[in-house]
Structure 1
């Protein structure tokens, strides 16, 4: 069964946020966030969600963020339960997008699929936050830096 959360409700799935270095797949860091995490795009079959057009620039930027940020990746995967079982794409991670002061948006990695395949329209505040990401800075981040600006200096790090 998929996890469903209303958009903009407080994220409470995990106490810590964890980033894995995409290049090594080994290096990781984790910390208890000082910011409030708000759910975006945790959809499930049988539950209503907002639909409507979204700007192409937003979708492209969100996809680009997902190319550089590897967040809360787990060993298992979950499939889109809005799709027929034999056609459902799978995901196993999350995305963090900084919002206003003290707010970060927490979305499942399948969010771009929900937008492009199922017409999901995230809240405008999330779309604005994605468009505000400094993608050049995030894409150039190399371990021990990660593509997210609010990692505390005392984050625990696994080097091997």
Structure 2
């Protein structure tokens, strides 16, 4: 599934955060603008190049604590040979400038590590700015993302 970097995210109307340790979750219509980052597809050009030291490790750590828009099916990396293709089934949200969040697929870390994908500088800056200890310490009913509205619909099991 290809979306141009920094184009408007339109795949889902709502954002849904799931709790990794239960069947609980919450969903809401975002009041912020969502911008696509890292939605790559075979045959479509994408920027390549280095990323700052520590960036990829931090992005992986953020994926460990934020589980959102998880689907029942999986998306295979179509840049890899079929027999070696890793799968992804969720997304991550990274807060950017006020009112803007970046929407990336879980496969983004694979795209960076295995295919040399270079995300936009604004996304790299936003990832590096996230307070990982605070996000890691967040537990249900809160989620590791700062802009969840207080009236978000919560599924309690």
Query: What is the aligned partner in structure 2 of residue 9 from structure 1?
Result: 7
Does 2:103 correspond to 1:110? Answer: no
1:60 corresponds to which of 36, 54, 57: 57
Offset of residue 56 of structure 1 = 2.6
> Can you list the C-alpha shifts for 1:89-138, whole angstroms capped at 9, x where unaligned?
00000010000010000000000000000000000000000000011110
Partner of 1:141: 138
Cα offset, 1:23, TM superposition: 1.6
**C-alpha separation in 2, matches of 1:10 and 1:37:** 6
Which has the higher mean CA deviation after the structures are superposed, 32-41 or 54-63?
A: 54-63
1:101 partnered with 2:134: no
Gaps in structure 1 of 5+ consecutive residues: none
Give the aligned partner of residue 151 of structure 2: 154
* Structure 1 segments of 4+ aligned residues over 4 angstroms from their partners: none
TM-score, structure 1 as length reference: 0.97
Task: Work out whether 1:50 is the aligned partner of 2:47.
Answer: yes
Q: Matched residue pairs, number?
A: 157
Q: Which residue of 1 aligns with 2:120?
A: 123
Runs of 5+ consecutive residues of structure 2 not aligned to the other structure: none
TM-score, structure 2 length as denominator?
0.99
Alpha-carbon RMSD across the aligned residues, in angstroms, is 0.5
